[in-house]
Amino acid sequence: MTKIKHFNFFKLLPRYTSVAALIGVGCLIAQKPAYAHHSMGGNVPSNFFEGFLSGLAHPLIGLDHFAFVIAIGLLAVGQVQGALIPAGFVLAAMVGTGIHLLSVDLPVAEIIIAVSAIAFGAMLVKQNKPNWILQMVLGAIAGLFHGYAYGEAIIGAGMTELFAYLLGFTLIQYGVAFAAFRFGSAATQKFNTQRLSFLQLAGLVISSIGVVFLASSIS
């Protein structure tokens, strides 16, 4: 006689409650949009040290930027050429800053930044991800807009301060992406579940942050 398997809703409830809580936290901490992040209290850096500190802080104090950098690091997990994905992003971000300083307009930059967080979070959720070349290209395109937003904080600074700023935000972004890659690699070995892996949970949170920033940018 064939046994009928009963669906145990209460067994799955804690797992999905945790997912909902993570997404909720992501939405709550993303309530304040990051239109122009200034780590120097709104002042333009006036020396190498201030420029470097501003560059280090800028990608961290903007949650939309920070979430994207984590996403691009996590996407490198398990890929042979994974290190090139965040590398393409940080190099393009420098170009994006240069575009801003040349007074070339990149329209709807904040909207594109939010959409990039949603898209890369969604790629983490998907089982079948695009190949690393496409991910690197998409990351580079996003990097232009992220870098363009970074450029707002350095307008009017001298070449020394500009060099320090670019050095700071390049180092911190690749450092955060690399840390996310290492942590994600370890976490996927320990915390994967049958239904939702660690990377998928992270993708849901990152996408939820992007949705909140997108709504704020549009409104």
59-78 as b/e, with b when 16 or more CB fall inside 10 Å? bbebbbbbbbbbbbbbbbbe
158, two tokens: 């001298």
pLDDT of residue 9: 35
pLDDT of residue 192: 63
pLDDT of residue 5: 44
* Cβ contacts of 35 within 8 Å, gap of 6 or more: 110
3-state secondary structure the chain: CCCCCCCCHHHHHHHHHHHHHHHHHHHHHCCCCCCCCCCCCCCCCCCHHHHHHHHHHHHHHCHHHHHHHHHHHHHCCCCCCCCHHHHHHHHHHHHHHHHHHCCCCCCCHHHHHHHHHHHHHHHHHCCCCCCHHHHHHHHHHHHHHHHHHHHHHHCCCCHHHHHHHHHHHHHHHHHHHHHHHHHHHHHHHHCCCCCCCHHHHHHHHHHHHHHHHHHHHHC
pLDDT of residue 85: 92
198, two tokens: 């660690």
pLDDT of residue 189: 79
pLDDT of residue 171: 96
pTM of the complete model: 0.81
Show pLDDT as tens, one digit a residue, over the chain (219 residues).
Answer: 444 444 343 343 344 444 444 555 555 444 444 444 555 566 788 899 999 999 999 888 889 999 999 999 999 998 888 889 999 999 999 999 999 999 999 999 999 999 999 999 999 998 888 888 999 999 999 999 999 999 988 998 899 999 999 999 999 999 999 999 999 998 887 776 555 688 999 999 999 999 999 999 897
**Closest to 162 in 3D by CA, of 102, 98, 109, 103:** 98
Identity of the amino acid at 36? A
pLDDT of residue 51: 92
Identity of the amino acid at 158? G
